[in-house]
């Protein structure tokens, strides 16, 4: 019986990382030893004290029933305490924080609370594809803000026309940035908050990679800016910080009305985060943080190994101290997809073509440092053999 997909689903491009998996598996089936540096999924195990907290909580029958939609009070209190310790930001757990089943679902569902059909959403590109798909599902239209190397991969939002700004409801940002690894400053956030207040635009900040660094000083949070709680919501994830991608836990924090709107969507489409996982999240945030620092140093070493191979192949790399991504310019005369195909077919390395994140990603590929150092050394050796 023929069933037809909805127009919104037809409008979606193939999900980038699902397509990468398909191509990788096809090449592997031919017997190629593939080194997968495509998807940003940490390869190290979750720290043991977090697993122990989950085990203990999972045995408690009190945690076997429906959780509170917006998250346990205890979990949200721990998040509020984390903001105070990390950024000296005061938040009220009940009104400023909402738990998420991983930040991806929050990013996707947030536009449903504030976007009407035809509304504009200011979306950076290259960027995580969910900003665009969430806008599409809500009936909104994406107005793209190119992230260019000459601008430090920051959006030039000041150049957007007043006609567009009057129609815009949400402006997405993501720093430290996926895919480029670029960072920003508290002063930049201050200017952005002032801009958003002037035009009555919501700032939605994806901060999933704020803790993935080998620096001692944390990356700035937009919520540190005076007045940010008037216009901003920040999305966080425990996935990359604590190697918990499969656990699906994160949070949103910020303006009370924005949190309430997101919570109303969530209460109608999901039933919250399994409480045992919330206890594990509390153990992650309250427990020893040496595991986070150790992962940062591990990514630094891995980056150095891979960059050596890229340099031997005369490839130019964006310098950064954040995320576990390496953003690389492709050789002159090649397109992103062509170079990614060359890497896979000639040296068995999976990289993500930059144009898969948006048109301004053309001319780049992204490598994820999610293989052990020996495999990255092998990748570096293979890269050094490339001929252009």
Q: Can you read off the two tokens belonging to residue 290?
A: 């040496």
- Quote the CA–CA distance of 108 and 308 in Å, as a whole number: 37
314: left (phi over 0), alpha (psi -120 to 50) or beta: left
Mean pLDDT, to the nearest integer, of 15-42?
Answer: 82
Percentage of the chain lying above the pLDDT 70 cut: 98
The domain defined by 7-45+290-383 carries CATH number 3.90.1150.10:
yes
Question: Where residue 258 falls among pLDDT bands split at 50, 70, 90?
Answer: very high
Q: How many Cβ atoms sit within 10 Å of the Cβ of residue 317?
A: 16
The ranges assigned to domains in the chain are 7-45+290-383, 48-286
pLDDT tens digits, one per residue of 259-303: 999 999 999 999 999 999 999 999 999 999 999 999 999 999 999
Q: How far is CA 376 from the centre of its chain?
A: 23
Distance, in Å, from the CA atom of 120 to the CA atom of 115, rounded to the nearest integer, reads: 8
CATH 3.40.640.10 fits 48-286, yes or no: yes
Quick: pLDDT tens for 86-122: 999 999 999 999 999 999 999 999 999 999 999 999 9
């Amino acid at each position: 019986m023929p069933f037809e997909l909805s127009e919104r689903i037809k409008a979606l491009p193939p999900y980038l990382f699902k397509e990468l998996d398909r191509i990788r598996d096809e090449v592997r089936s031919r017997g190629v030893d593939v080194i997968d540096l495509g998807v940003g999924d940490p390869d190290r195990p979750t720290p043991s004290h977090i697993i122990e907290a989950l085990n203990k909580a999972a045995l408690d029958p009190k945690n076997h029933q429906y959780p509170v939609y917006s998250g346990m009070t205890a979990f949200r209190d721990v998040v509020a305490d984390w903001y105070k310790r990390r950024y000296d930001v005061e938040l009220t757990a009940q009104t400023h924080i909402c738990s998420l089943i991983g930040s991806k679902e929050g990013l996707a569902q947030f536009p449903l609370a504030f976007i009407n059909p035809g509304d504009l959403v200011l979306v950076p590109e290259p960027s995580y594809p969910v900003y665009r798909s969430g806008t599409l599902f809500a009936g909104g239209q994406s107005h793209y803000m190119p992230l260019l190397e000459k601008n430090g991969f920051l959006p030039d939002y000041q150049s957007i026309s007043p006609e567009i700004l009057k129609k815009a409801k949400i402006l997405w940002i993501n720093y430290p940035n996926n895919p480029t690894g670029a960072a920003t400053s508290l002063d930049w956030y201050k200017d952005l908050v002032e801009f958003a207040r002037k035009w009555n635009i919501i700032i939605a900040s994806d901060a999933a990679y704020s803790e993935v660094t080998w620096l001692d000083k944390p990356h700035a949070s937009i919520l540190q800016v005076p007045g940010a709680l008037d216009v901003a919501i920040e999305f966080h994830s425990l996935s990359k910080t604590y190697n918990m991608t499969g656990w699906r836990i994160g949070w949103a924090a910020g303006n009370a009305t924005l949190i309430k709107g997101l919570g109303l969507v969530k209460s109608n489409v999901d039933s919250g985060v399994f409480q045992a996982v919330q206890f594990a999240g509390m153990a992650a945030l309250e427990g020893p943080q040496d595991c986070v620092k150790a992962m940062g140093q591990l990514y630094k070493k891995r980056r150095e190994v891979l960059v050596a191979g890229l340099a031997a192949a005369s490839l130019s790399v964006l310098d950064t101290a954040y995320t576990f991504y390496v953003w690389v310019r492709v050789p002159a005369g090649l397109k992103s997809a062509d170079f990614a195909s060359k890497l896979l077919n000639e040296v068995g390395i999976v990289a993500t073509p930059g144009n898969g994140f948006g048109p301004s990603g053309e001319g780049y590929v992204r490598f994820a440092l999610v293989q052990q150092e020996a495999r990255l050394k092998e990748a570096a050796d293979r890269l050094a053999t490339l001929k252009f």
